[in-house]
Structure 1
Amino acid sequence: MTVGIDVLTGTGRRPGAPNPSRTGRWRDTPLAVRLVVTVAVLVFAYGGVVHVVQLLMPQFGPQLALPGWLTFYFASLTLWDPLAALLLAARRVEGLAVGCAVLVTDAAANWYANYVLDPALGVTPGRIGQAVISALAVALVALTPWLTPWFTRSASRAVEHPTRVTADLSSPAPQP
């Protein structure tokens, strides 16, 4: 018998116990995991909107002349940010990989634009944005090992679903 609310699951149930009130792909996921993924999805959705606005309305984009490859990269984020958001929301492990790659490369591209190309001294809005993106990149990369088990099927979940067919590739195939 448990008393109080479990911080990881957000319920008074014991960890791992099914929650009949929740349905869908996130029903067996702890509250902390759902919160982290929700924040990540919102960050990528926001990033996608920002990059679309900057692409369609240049006055809201960077005020520097960027090299073609950097302009192409920032324009490509109109695809990569929403893709990461959708994959994470769908609980696909690929979403973690795409999300980490997007944030790390976005932080690096913004570093280049704000520290190499921008001649301004001191703190600028672009440098603050670059610091935020860098912090988000570090956070997602650091949390990915903790999040990954909730995005992949484990052997324990296969036992819960005995109708699921699994193959043991370590043993030789039976001979006819």
Structure 2
Amino acid sequence: MWARWVLAGYLIGFLEGSCVHILDLARDGIHAYASFPQASLQVFFVSLAMLDPLVAVLVGLVRREGIWLASAVMVTDVFANWWGNRHWLQDDPARLVWLSPITLFGLFVVAFLLPLHRAVVRTRVAQP
């Protein structure tokens, strides 16, 4: 039962991320993340417009791959946000509040990686 709630949390988070990144691209095009000076971060954040919906679909289908991909995406996303915003954080530490939701969601996803994976494997094995 708990696994369904965790999967729902994953799904809500990645659907929200999908909307944010797709709307950013719809509004500002390929240069939506030009405020990040590193081209690698810009490319990564653009790629989230495809990765976040992919994770949402895989998690919605209760696929083990979706659970692992969710963790990989969130670890990378949290790191990229902290790295890309590090100069603003030095100038204005209050911006930590802005990074709190993504950091907390990333911790949530990673914390449930192994328990959720085990629960999904057990459920699949138990089904004929």
Q: TM-score, normalized by length of structure 1?
A: 0.63
> CA, structure 1 residues 63+154, in 2 after alignment: closer, same or farther (shift >3 Å)?
closer
Paired residues of 1:37 and 1:89 also in contact (CA < 8 A): yes
Name the CA distance, whole Å, in 2 between partners of 1:69 and 1:145. Answer: 29
AA partner of residue 101 (structure 2)? V
Name the CA distance, whole Å, in 2 between partners of 1:52 and 1:85. Answer: 14
Paired residues of 1:100 and 1:140 also in contact (CA < 8 A): yes
Paired residues of 2:21 and 2:45 also in contact (CA < 8 A): yes
Paired residues of 2:33 and 2:46 also in contact (CA < 8 A): no
AA partner of residue 61 (structure 2)? A
Aligned residue for 2:100?
131
- Give the structure with the larger helix fraction: 2
Aligned residue for 2:4?
34
Name the CA distance, whole Å, in 2 between partners of 1:62 and 1:68. Answer: 9
Q: TM-score, normalized by length of structure 2?
A: 0.84
Partner SS for 2:118:
helix
Q: How far apart are 1:52 and its partner, in Å?
A: 0.9
Q: Does 1:146 align with 2:120?
A: no
- Residues 100-128 of structure 1: CA deviation (Å, up to 9, x unaligned): 0111100000001111466632212xx33
Paired residues of 2:64 and 2:117 also in contact (CA < 8 A): yes
Q: Does 1:48 align with 2:18?
A: yes
Partner SS for 1:151:
helix
Count of residues paired in the alignment: 126
Give the root-mean-square deviation of aligned CA atoms. Answer: 2.4
AA partner of residue 79 (structure 2)? A
Q: How far apart are 1:153 and its partner, in Å?
A: 4.9
Q: How far apart are 1:156 and its partner, in Å?
A: 5.9
Taking CA–CA contacts closer than 8 Å with sequence separation of 6 or more, which of the two structures ends up with the larger relative contact order? 2
| Residues 8-87 of structure 1 mapped to structure 2, 5 A cutoff | 30=1, 32-58=2-28, 64-87=35-58
Larger radius of gyration: 1
Name the CA distance, whole Å, in 2 between partners of 1:105 and 1:155. Answer: 28
> What runs of 5+ residues in structure 2 fail to find an aligned partner?
none
Paired residues of 1:91 and 1:151 also in contact (CA < 8 A): yes
- Residues 122-146 of structure 1: CA deviation (Å, up to 9, x unaligned): 212xx33422212211121111221
Identity %: 26
